[in-house]
Each structure stands twice: as structure tokens, then as C-alpha cells.
Amino acid sequence: MSLSTVVRRRPSPTVRHLPHLVFLLPVVGTLVRLVQLDDAVCWRVAPVIAALGLLYIAGTALWDRFGAAGRPVWLGTLVLLWAWVSWQLPVALAFAYTWLAVPLAVLALRMPGRRVTVAAVGAITAVLLASLVRIGGVDLDVLAPPLAALGATVVLYRSQQRLNSQLAATRSELGRRQREAGRLAERTRIARDLHDTLAQELAGSRMLLQAAERDWERNPDAALRQVRAVSQALGAHLEETRSIISDLTPPALERDDLEAALRGLCTRPQSSTGVPHVAFRTEGDPHLLPTDRAVTLLRVAQGLLANAREHAQATHVHVTLAYEDGRAAVEVRDDGRGFDQRRTQPFGPDRGFGLAAARGRLSALGGTLTVDSAPGHGTRVRAMLPAADRVLAGTP
């Protein structure tokens, strides 16, 4: 059970209504006994007892309307009526009436301001003590139970108030930390998106422009094709950037499913020199992936393919989308230089998020990232996610 659930849980109806029952049962019981006795004193006291009960019910029902100024007046009137009735009742009935001090003390502890609370509790204690002395004199057997109940009520209620304040403060702090964690997670997500899309694609465009600069004089046609490829790629970059800014599904997934989006990523025009040939294929029976999983696999594939193109020095890259046993996986395999997996920065210190970002994306959805590489033997990276719900990628 979470802390926020504990804080929000309200007491049961029995616990909330217990003070009202403790107040109304003696009032009603005493009123019934007075009617049964049927003498002059009883009929003089009975209307006041009825008014006391009705005033109590009205006050609890209109608690919010009374406000900070009206509640002390209402409680003071209750205490005065209770004191008068306690002094007028026959001794045989007065002892049960002394227990009204407990719910009245609860009301006093709910009063606004420490001074009002202390004065109200003091007045209730004085009335209770005077009533008990009238009933049995200075007899501990008579004095101890009601006074102990009153003291325990005050102590326990104050402890509960302090606990509620601490829980409220804890809930506020927990909410603040959750909001801060959410902001940090969102910043990390946006940074990863920018790394896996805009940064990677801009690096590819830069390579094309560098190639065009080299070919500008000796092979103008090739240079022109490279510039046109950059122009076309920049349009796609702009679309991706707008998607990130508006926090929407990548445009490729809005138009197509994951297979079509990956195929388009692999066949995107690149420089004619120095860039490996990319082949794409699928395996297994396709699953319809939830949008978040399709986006994650696409983003991871973008980052892995960019790494292979820019740093692997490979001639061929194979991208495979595989479906198996309720799971979907994207594998990127190249025949490049490979790297030592014991290194923490396999693609150099300027690689930003890289494999760590891909692993973080996948683990958040219950997926895994497997890397198999060795110097001079190429690299094979496999990103796997459970298919989960059968929802078409790109649908809300």
C-alpha cells in the first residue's frame, strides 16, 4: 500500500460518528427516564435536554456554515446547557450525563485557535469535576473513570491531530518529489528523443554535406545529389522535431505501422560514399504493438542505425524486425570494426546517451538490450520488448 493511499484514507463511518453516539445516547436515555418519572423537576429539565440534543445535531450538521467565529459560540452554549442540566438532574440520573464531557472535549479540540481550545477544555473539565463531586463527593471510584476518559480523549485526539499534520506534510512532500521525478523523467525522455532523432540525423546530414563539398568540383552531379538528399532529410528532421515538441507519436508511426516505419528508416537516401548498405527484413508473424512500444523500438532502432552508419566503418548493416512468443525485437547487425564491450563508452566520449539511453528506454517497458561485439568482428545489438496489449501502433 502506498503512502499516498494511507494519507487519503478516511476513517470508517463508525469511527466518525462515535462521538455523536456518545453524546446523543445519554441525552435520549435521560430524556426517556425523565418522562417516565413524570414529576415537576423532570418536566422543567426535559425541555432543556431536548434543546441541548437539537442544538448539538444542528451544530454538527451546519459546522461549515458556522465558521471560525460561530463555532466557539455554539460550543459555549452547549457547555452552559450541559452544566445547567447536570446540576438540575436527580443524582440517580446525573452520573450517566457526566459522560457528555467526552464528545464535548472532542468538539473543543476542533475549535479554531489554541486559546479557545484550552479555555473550552478547561471549562468542560471544571463542569465535569463539579458534577462528580455533587454526585459522590470526593470519591476516587466516582471521580477517576470520567476524568481518566476525558484526559485520554484529549491526549489521543491531540496525538491524532499531530499525526494527521505529519501525514499531510509527508503527502505534500511526496507529491512534490513525484512531480520533480516526473519533470526529470520527461527531460530525460526529451533528451533521448532529441539524441535518437535530431542529433543523429543532423550528424548524417553533416556527413552528406562534407561529401558534397569534396565532390563539388570534380563530380558536381554527385555533389548535387548529396545536397538534395540533405534537403530531403532536413524536411523529415523538421517533422520529427515538431513531433517531439508537441509530444506526439512519430509521424512515421502515425502514417504506418512499425514495419513500414523501420523500412522507411533503412531506405532513407544517404551519401554514395563511405556509408554502408542497409538491408531490412522481418521474421515471424507480426503483432500489433501498443504505440508506446512501437515508438520505443523505432527510437532505439534510429539510434543503433545511426551508430552503425557513423562509427562502425561497416560495409553492410542488417536490420531485422522479429516477432516471437508475444514479443517484438529489433536487431541491428553490422560487419564493421566492432568494439570492446568492457569499455563504458563504446562509440567514443561524444556519443551522448547511446546504448545506455536505449537500455533505459527498453527497461522502462520491461524490455532488454543485448549487445554482442568484439574488435574487428562487427556488432550485433538486439532490442526486445513484450508485445503487451494488442493495439495498433499509431492509434490512441
Domain 177-386 grouped into CATH 3.30.70.20: no
69-78: string of b/e by CB count within 10 Å (b at 16+)? eebbebbeeb
- Angle ∠(116,120,125) on CA atoms, nearest 5: 150
Cα distance between residue 236 and residue 234, in whole Å? 5
Better pLDDT: 85 or 189: 85
Question: Band of the pLDDT at 7, cuts 50, 70, 90?
Answer: very low
Cell of 100: 457528555
Share of the chain above pLDDT 90, in %: 7
Would you state the pLDDT for residue 318? 93
Would you state the pLDDT for residue 333? 92
Average pLDDT, the chain: 77
Cα distance between residue 79 and residue 64, in whole Å? 20
Cα distance between residue 75 and residue 392, in whole Å? 64
Would you state the pLDDT for residue 155? 85
Would you state the pLDDT for residue 392? 39
Would you state the pLDDT for residue 334? 92
Indicate if the pLDDT at residue 382 is higher than 90.
yes
Determine if the pTM surpasses 0.85.
no
- For 13, residues 6+ apart whose C-beta sits below 8 A from its C-beta are none
Contact 329, 287 (CB under 8 A): no
280 strand-pairing partners:
319
Q: How many residues does the chain have?
A: 396
Q: What is the mean pLDDT of residues 129-155?
A: 80
Task: Show the DSSP H helices in the chain as ranges.
Answer: 3-8, 13-37, 40-61, 63-88, 91-97, 101-109, 114-136, 140-194, 200-215, 220-245, 251-255, 258-266, 291-311, 354-364
Closest by Cα among 249, 221, 277, 275 to 392: 249
Cα distance between residue 304 and residue 262, in whole Å? 12
Q: Which residue has the cell 522507411?
A: 264
Q: What is the mean pLDDT of residues 362-380?
A: 88
Would you state the pLDDT for residue 46? 82
Would you state the pLDDT for residue 391? 38
Indicate if the pLDDT at residue 243 is higher than 70.
no
Question: Band of the pLDDT at 9, cuts 50, 70, 90?
Answer: very low
Would you state the pLDDT for residue 13? 53
Q: Is 64 exposed, middle or buried (0-12, 13-18, 19+ CB in 10 A)?
A: exposed
Indicate if the pLDDT at residue 308 is higher than 90.
no
CATH 3.30.565.10 intervals, the chain: 177-386
Question: Band of the pLDDT at 52, cuts 50, 70, 90?
Answer: confident
Question: Band of the pLDDT at 322, cuts 50, 70, 90?
Answer: very high
